[in-house]
Amino acid sequence: MFVGLIQRCEQIAMPTVALSQAADIFDERFYGLPNLIDALSAIIIEMTNIGEEFLGPLERLTVMTIDYYPRYQPKPQATTCSSVIKMILALQTKPNSYKPFLSRIGIFAYILN
């Protein structure tokens, strides 16, 4: 069930559209990323263990949220920071997933910049 939820979040955040439609959908959807991250963080806290197959999509959504951060207005920037921190803290309760998640997020952030 968690896999389906993550896949749905990715579909919402990363739609497959024509280039002419991309700007309109981008504006609508990238503001919803912090809310998706918040929801996934709340679910992760309740889970006993996070498998490796969940980390890839979580990493992509988190990196995308961090990447869009400069494009937000000041209020959504605060929400974005809070969402990313919640995700990190939620995964901190899962020691087997926490270190790989942080290291890959750092690598992705380094590559993007």
- pLDDT tens string 2-49: 777 777 777 766 655 444 555 555 566 778 888 889 999 999 999 888
**Nearest partner of 12 among 30, 24, 38, 27, judged by Cα:** 30
pLDDT given for residue 89 in this prediction = 94
Give the tens place of pLDDT for each residue, 77-111. Answer: 888 899 999 999 999 998 888 999 999 888 877 77
Structural domain boundaries, residue 89: 2-12+23-112
Kindly state whether residue 36 falls inside one of the protein's structural domains: yes
Residues 51-68, mean pLDDT to the nearest whole number: 84
Query: Is the predicted pLDDT of residue 64 greater than 70, yes or no?
Result: yes
Domain count, the chain: 1
Query: Do residues 40 and 83 make contact, with C-beta atoms less than 8 angstroms apart?
Result: no
Segments in 1-113 forming alpha helices (H): 2-13, 19-29, 33-46, 52-68, 74-92, 95-112
pLDDT given for residue 17 in this prediction = 47
Backbone angles phi, psi at 82, to 5 degrees: -60, -40
Kindly state whether residue 45 falls inside one of the protein's structural domains: yes
Kindly state whether residue 18 falls inside one of the protein's structural domains: no
3-state secondary structure at position 34: helix
Residues 62-75, mean pLDDT to the nearest whole number: 81
